[in-house]
Amino acid sequence: MGPKQHPSRSQTFSARAESETLPALTSYLLSLIALKQSNLCVSADVHTTSTLLRLAEEVGDSICVLKTHVDIIDDFSDRTIKGLQEIAKRKYFLIFEDRKFGDIGNTVQSQYTRGPLRIATWAHLTNAHIFPGPTIIPSLHTAATSALISLNQSVSTEISTGTPRSSIDGSAGGVDTETEAEISPHKITVTNFNNPFHTQTPSFNPASSSSAQPSSSYQPLSPDSMSDMSHRRSSVVTATTTISQTFEPSPPNPATLSRSLSSSSDTQLDRATALRELGPPPHARGLLLLAQMSSEDNIFTPAYTSACVSAARKHKDFVLGFVAQEDLNREGRDEFVVFTPGVGLPSAAEGDGLGQRWRGPREVVRDEGADVVIVGRGILGARDRAGEAERYRKEAWRGYAERVEGRK
């Protein structure tokens, strides 16, 4: 007789989302899965921005998560991320950067928040190994928190120019407003959001635009004109900087929406409206621990998997779940979400000849307790990727329905 199944195996996603002890991002994901009736994650292992964005458009309606490897995007830039964020917002899915962090704390913090990728600024989810030690978890959590604070901090600077007026004793004691008017004062406001993928470059627009552009009759300053200018009073530049901080509002209670969904038939509920009410994801980041792998002869031992689970229990406010081959919820208070790779439909079930083994999405969800199935080449190589994604979605959802109903 096998181990006793955890209660979450028979719970609906919407019921699991109602737990008051879940982090907001986990609750959101479970509600999103219930509303879209999709527990499919597509692995976007592609090499150009255009291919990535086209794939996201094609499969976005059928997925709950898109998994990326942006370090293999040859032309990665802010356009890559802005485009992906726009599609994710419109089609309602989370972005999971498959970075597989595995280094000392100081290094992974920099890898997560700095460099050209700056993963923490745009990816809702990422993942990590714990072989460097479990302190990798709080290190990434701290980095994510700092990045999110910086992301929502705006700096507004107002710059004005004028000419100083002389005080009674002849010293510069203020700005001469008459002279200031004569020299056409300029004011600009610079707003800099500390988001590398949301930047604005201010332009300097003088009151008299014609005088700002050099004309064809422009001549260098002559000695006489320079002497004349020396009698003019100097200008004063003042700058006022205001720092403000804002955070995304929390979305409506996702449990209420998914409960409403589960009590209505498909034809009675406007899913598009429900998704709009669910709104954007909470302003948070989540981590998945790599507890098991689908490749042949991997060295992830049962002891290592157990260590991953133990570490996750100590950091439930950041660890959303695992990348694993089976349900790893064992204790009563475990509420982790399991993402399972190595999933394929019959045409790919034999493997790829490179050590990867595939199992069917229905069986993985129903029999092994996977919550989200990760599919890559089975969809990427299809002639109709949107249609193939929908086929995988239906199979994975069928496995979930049979699991909850206790059928095999």
User: How far is residue 394's CA from residue 55's CA, in Å, rounded to a whole number?
Assistant: 19
**Residues facing 156 on adjacent strands:** 191, 242
Place of tokens 């660890």: 319
User: How far is residue 251's CA from residue 270's CA, in Å, rounded to a whole number?
Assistant: 18
Three-state DSSP class for 123? coil
Active-site amino acid positions: 100
User: How far is residue 245's CA from residue 154's CA, in Å, rounded to a whole number?
Assistant: 6
User: How far is residue 186's CA from residue 280's CA, in Å, rounded to a whole number?
Assistant: 39
Task: Count CB neighbours of 84 within 10 A.
Answer: 22
User: How far is residue 127's CA from residue 144's CA, in Å, rounded to a whole number?
Assistant: 13
Query: Who's near 256: CB < 8 A, 6+ residues apart?
Result: none
Which of 316, 309, 324, 320 shows the shortest CA–CA distance to 369? Answer: 324
Three-state DSSP class for 142? helix
Three-state DSSP class for 208? coil
